[in-house]
Structure 1
């Protein structure tokens, strides 16, 4: 009896499968089916690949920032002495650092002297940023503890300086060479300020993978930095690392209170927030743009179904006269269209996941095929193309594709269901 069959019965699947695999001379649209399937697969693949690379960019960028920089920098609030001198340095820094270490969630505190100087060696000059810390504090920095490239011995930092590979390349030095550092804030004399000049042995060369760090960063012992920058008995800041870098703002009040209350902070999110917001905006824009590609690919399903409905008009009329309801006819053609979308989406998900997993050899081949030089770390601040496969990105891409496939399938399927069997068989 018409309408007595349960929805999506086996015979509906059988008819839909018969239509999908029918050859063109039998009234099928197998070529259009393949075009639709391949288009959806490529669109989903592109969406997942792009989202994974964008996620990788953010994770890699955050990791390089957090691996070589503080999560929170604690500074002395400027105050003026009775002689009119403005003080911006932290005194009693050992006690302050110990108090901050007791704050729940804090993993590292390093008293730091920071300054910009001119480095000179082999007739070459380079502007560098010098950080003075005790050796143990330098060794606890994640990216300094396990850098991409390491030469020399960081344990010998008390005997010299550690420099980034970019600094070493600019000056043409290696481990064991000597580098001259020149600071304009030197000794006060009758003739004014005399620049301070000191020469240090390079005991360690590192590469952390972020170009703007490797190119300018120099580490030296805290005591030597205090002497070199006229910071006797004081430091410029406390570098603080926390367990949850993304939630660092929740710990700032406790950190400032522990550091004495006369301080202020600067977090990594404040210093790098512009980059992170730009990445997030690009993520959203790329998702919207690539979703349009998915929409275009799914519209091929509509074209194919319209052709299928036209070619199968006689079959629809016969099926209706045999007792199939409008709902059964709608479900048959809905299975045809949604099946294409489902298979294409599955293929695209597999291709996208494989691309994200094996991106290094794939990109290496592309770089080799194009003669190298495709990736410039001086522009992107990261040494290699990253990718991070996240379940949420895969689900977003698959959900977008399946949702669009189901929506665009419904309308031609409804048109087939409403076809008048008498009209369909009139000229047969």
Structure 2
């Protein structure tokens, strides 16, 4: 819709009402702010939801892979052959043996439940960038060194160099019953994955040391698998599932974390719908301000008609005036949203200080920090929705203005 200089001049004049029309200007300003807040809220919430899902997925997959193969009974005696078959499967980019067992740990009279993770040296090295204190280089088979999560270290009061005692309740059988197996391990490194459940429970050691602690010999119970397409991991590993039927079960990340990611998907849709209503309410303000503007400018519109202004020109003038309010509100909302996302963590801390409440408890939110990841397609969709709503809100007032009969208006002038 191209405007002539005359149409653009009138549109600009109507976007800035005169002194006698301050109330109309106030309503238009409120409309602009409302659209900006609605767009900003959508950008912020959708980016945080996307970031939350992406961060959870990245951190979970980084430690657990896209799927795990778990042996029935917890023992996969011929795991070397199975591992070779897994690595030869088309679409599999990495497969590693893994020992994953819930146990207990004690230190200085404190006892905590842990998740023991026995990894290969290559898999342990993958968390090098997550290490806060200590060195992973000291974690070698037979050295009896381990790496523990940051939150677990705080709960135990343990530091690098301390010796913690890991307890295996299923120890050796004696004439007096089963004696739990207890082995002391030196803390060589403390890591922070960023997922509370992991940082609160994980103890990592070489797979040989884990086999010794659990008395499993050379057997393992789990194989961790990473594919080149996480969304189609079920199809990629379907041949393996049939091959291992009756001996082991293949479980992908979608099944393991189904309830969590389904809840996030439902919440994401619900938040988008609810926040879209805010934008819809904002454009009703544009509708109201334009209706008041048309009523206030009825005489001016009639005079313009008598001077040769066409209905089409008046339609374009009022559509432009209302659409520009929506467009400016959308741009302002985008800027406001991106500023909030950039400073999101300091803003959360500021609100916590002001309210005295812990807004981001990692034990509830899973992640240690508020994440954000903007999707360009979603941002464009949000802007498009706001602009379409703004355009639709201008049609009725613009039609009323274009339908003004100058004869009826100016009859008694």
TM-score range, shorter chain: over 0.9
Per the alignment, residue 171 of structure 1 pairs with 156
Residues 74 and 220 of structure 2 are in contact (CA less than 8 Å); yes or no, is this contact kept in structure 1? no
Per the alignment, residue 231 of structure 2 pairs with 246
Taking a change above 3 Å as real, the CA distance of residues 264 and 397 of structure 1, as seen in their structure-2 partners, is same
Residues 41 and 348 of structure 1 are in contact (CA less than 8 Å); yes or no, is this contact kept in structure 2? yes
1:107 maps to which of 84, 89, 93: 93
Per the alignment, residue 32 of structure 1 pairs with 27
Per the alignment, residue 351 of structure 1 pairs with 336
Taking a change above 3 Å as real, the CA distance of residues 300 and 189 of structure 1, as seen in their structure-2 partners, is same
Taking a change above 3 Å as real, the CA distance of residues 146 and 256 of structure 1, as seen in their structure-2 partners, is farther
Per the alignment, residue 374 of structure 2 pairs with 389
Larger mean Cα displacement after TM superposition, 350-359 or 169-178: 350-359
* CA deviation map 1:72-106 (0-9, x unaligned): 11123x4xxxxxxxx54112222322332233433
Taking a change above 3 Å as real, the CA distance of residues 374 and 262 of structure 1, as seen in their structure-2 partners, is closer
Per the alignment, residue 50 of structure 1 pairs with 45
Per the alignment, residue 81 of structure 1 pairs with none
* CA deviation map 1:13-69 (0-9, x unaligned): 211111212313279932222222122112111111111111111111112211222
Gaps of 5+ in 1: 1-5, 79-86
Q: CA deviation at 1:371?
A: 5.0
How does the TM-score come out when normalised to structure 2?
A: 0.93
Q: CA deviation at 1:354?
A: 2.6
Q: CA deviation at 1:190?
A: 2.9
* CA deviation map 1:203-253 (0-9, x unaligned): 121111111001111112212221221211210111112233333223212
1:72 and 2:67 are equivalent in the alignment: yes
1:155 and 2:140 are equivalent in the alignment: no
What SS does structure 1 have at the residue aligned with 2:285? helix
What SS does structure 1 have at the residue aligned with 2:299? helix
1:292 and 2:277 are equivalent in the alignment: yes
Q: CA deviation at 1:305?
A: 0.8
What SS does structure 2 have at the residue aligned with 1:336? helix
Taking a change above 3 Å as real, the CA distance of residues 256 and 26 of structure 1, as seen in their structure-2 partners, is closer
What SS does structure 1 have at the residue aligned with 2:139? helix
* CA deviation map 1:371-411 (0-9, x unaligned): 57332111111011111122122112111111111111100
Equivalences for 1:126-141 in 2 at 5 Å? 126-140=112-126
What SS does structure 1 have at the residue aligned with 2:161? coil
Distance in structure 1 (CA, Å) of the matches to 2:175 and 2:22: 101
What SS does structure 1 have at the residue aligned with 2:184? strand
Taking a change above 3 Å as real, the CA distance of residues 277 and 355 of structure 1, as seen in their structure-2 partners, is same
Residues 27 and 308 of structure 1 are in contact (CA less than 8 Å); yes or no, is this contact kept in structure 2? no
Larger mean Cα displacement after TM superposition, 103-112 or 275-284: 103-112
RMSD: 2.2
What SS does structure 1 have at the residue aligned with 2:308? coil
Q: CA deviation at 1:337?
A: 0.9
Distance in structure 2 (CA, Å) of the matches to 1:53 and 1:98: 40
Larger mean Cα displacement after TM superposition, 24-33 or 338-347: 24-33
How does the TM-score come out when normalised to structure 1?
A: 0.89
Residues 135 and 155 of structure 1 are in contact (CA less than 8 Å); yes or no, is this contact kept in structure 2? no
Taking a change above 3 Å as real, the CA distance of residues 245 and 204 of structure 1, as seen in their structure-2 partners, is same
Q: CA deviation at 1:124?
A: 0.7
Residues 100 and 258 of structure 1 are in contact (CA less than 8 Å); yes or no, is this contact kept in structure 2? no
What SS does structure 1 have at the residue aligned with 2:77? coil
Per the alignment, residue 146 of structure 1 pairs with 129
Equivalences for 1:210-229 in 2 at 5 Å? 210-229=195-214
Distance in structure 1 (CA, Å) of the matches to 2:101 and 2:74: 14
Distance in structure 2 (CA, Å) of the matches to 1:256 and 1:139: 29
Distance in structure 2 (CA, Å) of the matches to 1:376 and 1:384: 9
